[in-house]
Structures are given as structure tokens and as C-alpha cells.
């Protein structure tokens, strides 16, 4: 069983930009009718994944991710996923022995830049980089699945 323990923060400056290369991500969510479970379809370059996540408890949740054929993912994004799709450029940056993922959103969420870091346990100490601001881990508006329903540009 896979558990994701993740903290999420707003990015407050551009000091991170020279620290990593970005990749384009396109993802969508298939409605489950349950608020606690999400099904995500994601394309990163020429690779595709199907991910199932449970309800978040604190900063932890179950996460199961599987590679799927690219053509299947494109069909799912075009025909099964809620709109708008999430479009973003993700940068991966190592800082203080942790991998930080910076998401610079595009499309209807343009203007939003978030930093996420996955932890080994909920109490793990963290050295916050100077480009990281307010923590939004407990604010559901910043969950990608909710950015589909309520895009950042409409706030």
C-alpha cells in the first residue's frame, strides 16, 4: 500500500527558476461521485499514468499510480475527464536532501505557482527554501482536483 505524505506551499519569488528544467504536464480527473476518492489521468511528455488517491487525512493519503498506454490516456483526457484540464509546467528541484516539485500552472489556472514536497512521515522537519511562502497543505482550493472545479483565474 502506497501512502503519500505531502506539504504544499505558495511560491513567493523567482529564485527557484535557475535550479531546474521544467516538463509539461497535462492531467484530468474522472468523476467518482465520492468526495474522498480521485482518479487522475496524466500525460508527461510521451508517458502516461492512471492514479487513484484516497481522501487526504492531515497531509497523508493512499496513492496508487500505474503506467498506461499514451493513446489510452489521450482518449480518457478528451472524453472522460472533467473540464478544464490541468495544464502545468513542473520543475523538480533538490533542496536540503528533499525533492521539491514546483508547479507553474497554465490555462485557467495561470498565475498560480505551487511548491510541493513529499515526506517520509508527517512530523519530518523541513528546511524551507527562500522561494517558498505560505503553507496551503490544508486549503482544499489548492488541490489539483479542485482547481478543475474552481480554477484559480476565477477566484
Q: 139: domain CATH number?
A: 2.40.320.10
The number of distinct structural domains making up the chain is 1
Q: Is the pLDDT of residue 125 over 70?
A: yes
What's the rounded mean pLDDT across residues 126-136?
97
Given pLDDT bands bounded at 50, 70 and 90, which one contains residue 147?
very high
Contacts of 109 (CB under 8 A, 6+ apart): 84, 86, 87, 88, 147, 151, 152, 153
What is the model's pLDDT at position 56? 85
Q: What is the domain range of residue 31?
A: 3-154
Looking at every residue in the chain, the average pLDDT score rounds to: 95
CA–CA distance, 87 with 27 (Å, rounded to integer) = 7
What is the model's pLDDT at position 82? 95
Given pLDDT bands bounded at 50, 70 and 90, which one contains residue 64?
very high
Point out the residues that are catalytic.
Answer: 29
Q: What pTM did the predictor assign? A: 0.92
Amino acid at each position: 500500500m502506497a501512502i503519500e505524505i505531502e506539504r504544499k506551499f505558495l511560491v513567493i519569488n523567482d529564485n527557484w527558476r535557475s535550479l531546474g528544467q521544467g516538463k509539461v504536464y497535462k492531467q484530468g480527473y474522472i468523476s467518482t461521485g465520492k468526495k474522498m476518492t480521485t482518479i487522475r489521468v496524466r500525460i508527461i511528455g510521451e508517458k502516461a499514468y492512471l492514479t487513484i488517491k484516497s481522501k487526504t487525512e492531515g497531509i497523508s493519503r493512499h496513492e496508487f499510480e500505474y503506467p498506461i498506454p499514451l493513446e489510452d490516456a489521450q482518449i480518457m483526457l478528451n472524453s472522460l475527464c472533467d473540464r478544464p484540464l490541468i495544464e502545468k509546467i513542473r520543475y523538480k528541484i533538490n533542496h536540503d536532501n528533499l525533492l521539491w516539485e514546483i508547479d507553474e500552472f497554465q490555462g485557467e489556472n495561470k498565475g498560480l505557482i505551487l511548491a510541493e514536497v513529499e515526506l517520509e512521515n508527517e512530523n519530518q522537519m523541513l528546511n524551507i527554501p527562500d522561494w517558498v511562502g505560505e503553507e496551503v497543505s490544508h486549503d482544499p482550493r489548492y488541490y489539483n482536483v479542485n482547481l478543475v472545479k474552481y480554477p484559480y483565474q476565477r477566484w
